[in-house]
Chain A
Amino acid sequence: DGGITQSPKYLFRKEGQNVTLSCEQNLNHDAMYWYRQDPGQGLRLIYYSQIVNDFQKGDIAEGYSVSREKKESFPLTVTSAQKNPTAFYLCASITTGNTEAFFGQGTRLTVV
Chain B
Amino acid sequence: AQSVTQLDSQVPVFEEAPVELRCNYSSSVSVYLFWYVQYPNQGLQLLLKYLSGSTLVESINGFEAEFNKSQTSFHLRKPSVHISDTAEYFCAVSEYNFNKFYFGSGTKLNVKP
Q: Which residues of A pack against B, CB within 8 Å?
A: 4, 6, 31, 33, 35, 40-43, 45, 48, 50, 88, 90, 92, 94, 97-106, 108
Given A98-B95, A98-B96, A99-B51: A43 and B103 within 8 A (CB)? yes
Given A42-B90, A42-B106, A43-B90: A101 and B101 within 8 A (CB)? yes
Q: Which residues of B contact A103 (CB under 8 A)?
A: 36, 43-45
Q: Which residues of B pack against A, CB within 8 Å?
A: 9, 32, 34, 36, 41-46, 49, 51, 90, 92, 94-96, 98-101, 103-106
Contact status B103-A100, CB under 8 Å: no
What residue of chain A has the Cβ atom nearest to residue B95's Cβ?
A98
In the bound assembly, the distance between CA atoms of A3 and B80 in angstroms comes to 31
Given A98-B95, A101-B92: A90 and B43 within 8 A (CB)? yes
Given A94-B99, A101-B92: A108 and B41 within 8 A (CB)? yes
Given A98-B94, A106-B42, A106-B43: A42 and B103 within 8 A (CB)? yes
Contact status B43-A94, CB under 8 Å: no
Given A42-B104, A43-B90, A94-B101: A100 and B49 within 8 A (CB)? yes
Contact status A31-B99, CB under 8 Å: yes
Q: Which residues of A contact B94 (CB under 8 A)?
A: 94, 98-99, 101
Given A103-B45, A108-B41: A40 and B101 within 8 A (CB)? no
